[in-house]
């Protein structure tokens, strides 16, 4: 009688991100290489609740390494502990659907679940492990690079490269028209994308959530440049940046989402304030979802693949309720509950910020001397 094969499942939750397919590919191929079966869960935790799973094989992941998005689909609204259900009268009520998750995992004889996601998805994975006994291995995904317990999340490098390319393009039009060009980038409450792309793209001003800005140093920097014969400036603004004593700019609220607050609008605000204070024509570009889409960079493909193999290997050796993590360029595991804690922000004494200050970049908190 043939020995029963071990079965695992993999899902992608939260926002899409370059490198998701590379992780899926690595997870599936590693399990198959070791004689296991693996199910792909469609549309994040929604698929776990509704039993929407697909047995994966080598053909399922063929050719997906360079593709953006996720072949499994994703959602950032379906929390099994607070699942939105529409009643006949159109009213939305929230129900605890953890038992359906457990029933489906049992139905498909799933030993453990690989959760590829950001803080929302990893928090749900940690809760399933803690309260329901589900065996979980997490993979850190977010373009924002703000997950604790890892030096780098996959997707960040691609988003940073996209923002840098946008700055390169804005640079030429800013110089041609003698304008101030403001680029608003994603990042939620952390300024990693703004900081790295701003340095790489030669920005003159970088505004981060971690350093509340004052308008005066920003204006002073732009005027310094004009006095030096430079009739244009480049400003990078993280979507979570806020003025000193003020609040972040909220674009809208999304009910039922892991992260209901959608930030946005700060770039336009900064551009308007600069134009009013200097008289220099100022324009804002919001990069938005372009940072999430498209093919992952070579760095993200390699990191995603390493993460996927490491996650599958953790399952194979029975190391559960952990997240794979990058530490000193080695893939290690950390307790998933710790990894799903407070977001990792840019420290104000970060070496890259010090580098920027030496280059004369203004962070909106003091007048630059260059």
With H, G, I as helix, E, B as strand and everything else as coil, classify residue 339.
helix
Which helix (H) or strand (E) segment holds residue 364: the answer is: none
Rounded Cα–Cα distance for residues 143 and 237 (Å): 16
Distance (Å) of CA 97 to CA 24, 44, 49, 80, 256: 25, 14, 7, 5, 15
Query: Residue 282 pairs with which residues in a beta bridge?
Result: 180
Rounded Cα–Cα distance for residues 154 and 163 (Å): 16
Rounded Cα–Cα distance for residues 40 and 60 (Å): 9
Instruction: Give me 68's structure tokens.
Output: 């953006």
What positions carry a catalytic annotation?
144
**Angle made by CA atoms 143, 72, 86, in degrees to the nearest 5:** 95
Rounded Cα–Cα distance for residues 203 and 180 (Å): 11
Task: Residue 37: name the closest of 46, 27, 47 by CA.
Answer: 27
Dihedrals φ, ψ of 204, to 5°?
-95, -30
């Amino acid at each position: 009688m043939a020995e029963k094969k071990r079965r695992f499942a993999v899902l992608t939750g939260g926002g899409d991100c370059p490198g998701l397919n590379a992780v899926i590919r690595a997870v599936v191929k590693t399990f198959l290489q070791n004689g296991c079966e693996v199910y792909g869960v469609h549309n994040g935790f929604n698929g776990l609740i509704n039993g929407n799973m697909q047995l994966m094989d080598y053909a399922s992941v063929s050719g997906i390494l360079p593709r953006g998005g996720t072949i499994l689909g994703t959602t950032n609204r379906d929390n099994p502990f607070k699942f939105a259900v529409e009643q006949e009268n159109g009213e939305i009520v929230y129900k605890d659907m953890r038992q359906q998750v457990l029933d489906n995992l049992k139905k498909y004889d799933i030993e453990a679940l690989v959760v590829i996601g950001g803080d929302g998805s990893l928090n749900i994975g940690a809760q399933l492990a803690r309260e329901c006994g589900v065996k979980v291995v997490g993979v850190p995904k977010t373009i924002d690079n703000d997950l604790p317990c890892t030096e780098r999340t996959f997707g960040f490098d691609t988003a940073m490269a996209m923002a840098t390319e946008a700055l390169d393009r804005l640079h030429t039009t800013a110089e041609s028209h003698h304008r101030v060009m403001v680029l608003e980038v994603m990042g939620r409450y952390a300024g990693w994308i703004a900081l790295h792309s701003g340095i790489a793209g030669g920005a003159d001003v970088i505004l981060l959530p971690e350093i509340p800005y004052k308008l005066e140093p920003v204006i002073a920097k732009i005027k310094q440049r004009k006095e030096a014969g430079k009739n244009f400036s480049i400003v990078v603004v993280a979507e979570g940046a806020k003025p000193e004593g003020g609040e972040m700019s909220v674009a809208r609220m999304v009910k039922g989402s892991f992260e209901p607050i959608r930030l946005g609008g700060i770039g336009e605000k900064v551009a308007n304030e600069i134009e009013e204070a200097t008289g220099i024509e100022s324009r804002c570009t919001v990069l938005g979802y372009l940072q999430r889409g498209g093919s992952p960079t070579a760095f993200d493909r390699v990191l995603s693949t390493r993460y996927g193999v490491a996650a599958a290997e953790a399952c194979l050796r029975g190391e559960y309720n952990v997240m794979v993590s990058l530490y000193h360029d080695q893939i290690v595991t950390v307790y998933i509950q710790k990894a799903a804690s407070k977001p990792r922000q840019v420290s104000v004494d970060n070496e890259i910020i010090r580098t920027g200050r030496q280059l004369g970049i203004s962070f909106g908190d003091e007048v630059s001397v260059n």
